Amino acid sequence: MASILIQHTVKDYAVWKKAFDSHAGLRTSGGELSVKIYRDSSNPNNLTVINQWKSLESAKKFAGSPELKAAMEESGVTGTPQVYFLNEA
């Protein structure tokens, strides 16, 4: 099983979460199996998102999609996200 770990900062968590939830169908149609969201205890607008995917290929395809880029801009992601592709050991 493959995962993507994404760390980024958002302007407003509530705005980001609403946009994130509205794109659930896009993620699942791309092969997402599950997602967990973590907020930094010292700055709740610093997020870590871990998505599990059917395959590393589907994870990479989604991460490079123009739809994801547009969704991140729409939801208020600031700066450049840190993205890590992970394989379960």
> pLDDT of 16-60, one tens digit each?
999 999 999 989 999 999 999 999 999 999 999 999 999 999 999
Provide the number of structural domains found in the chain.
1
> Which residue in 46, 57, 29 sits closest to 81, CA to CA?
46
What is the β-pairing status of strands 77-87 and 46-53?
Answer: unpaired
CATH number (domain holding residue 39): 3.30.70.100
SS3 readout for 5-45? EEEEEECCHHHHHHHHHHCHHHHHHCCEEEEEEEECCCCCC
Residue numbers of the domain that contains 33 = 2-87
> pLDDT of 59-85, one tens digit each?
999 999 999 999 999 999 998 999 999
